[in-house]
Amino acid sequence: MTSRGALVWTALALAIAVPVIAAAHSPLLQWRQPVYIIAGFSGIIGLGLLLVQPLLITGVLPGIPARRIHIWTGAGLVLAVVVHVAGLWITSPPDVIDVLLFRSPTPFSVWGAVAMWAVFATAILAAVRKRLGLRIWRLGHSVAAIVIVTGTVVHAWLIQGAMEDVTKGALCLLVLGAGTWALRRRQVWRMLR
């Protein structure tokens, strides 16, 4: 691996690991049930995977079969969302029902629910990709990616939880930046006009 490749991988690892480590040291975790902590960290891992996805699809990460890993990372993102929501369901079913029905009084819940449904829609699109045709699939996948990134970043930013503000803000900005850059590089904006 070249020094540039090592630098890219180190930067990515730090961008994800530092917010996770900071969240692990949060005093807010002291009184939480283990299932709630697992649910919260699944959300943090999901945010980190959103940074990986655009870097994979644009070929920035050296030394790996990017397209195949992009698919597996997408599956990991779906799993992270399922664990996040299931864990929250176990700790408070009424709150999760309110979120899923878009009647929760907390704004971060709406953004999270929209992002969650977009993640599931993307998984369905990936499953039926060959039937849709490349142009329609790419357009649907790109629109869903925009909703996922925007919804997840706003969801994460509005939550006052275990994530520390500076590292959370940095990760959110990196996810937004990488997502925007990937969409521009893939010339998605032309398809959306």
Domain range list for the chain? 3-192
Identity at 156, one-letter amino acid code: A
Q: Is the pLDDT of residue 186 over 80?
A: no
Please report, for residues 48, 97, 122, 147, the alpha-carbon distance to residue 140 in angstroms, rounded to integers and kept in the order given: 22, 27, 8, 11
Question: Per residue in 45-85, pLDDT tens?
Answer: 999 999 999 999 888 898 899 888 999 999 999 999 999 99
| Per-residue pLDDT tens over the stretch 132-164 | 888 888 889 889 999 999 999 999 999 988 999
The number of angstroms, rounded, from the C-alpha of 83 to the middle of its chain's C-alpha atoms is 13
End-to-end CA distance of the chain: 40
Side chain identity, residue 30: Q
pTM for the structure as a whole: 0.91
**What's the chain's average pLDDT?**
91
Compare 61 and 185 and report the one with higher pLDDT. Answer: 61
Residues in contact with 76: Cβ distance below 8 Å, sequence separation at least 6, in sequence order: 49
**110 residue type, one letter:** V
pLDDT digits (tens, 9 = 90+) for 93-134: 999 999 999 999 899 999 999 999 999 999 999 889 888 888
Distance of alpha carbon 153 from alpha carbon 168, whole angstroms = 9
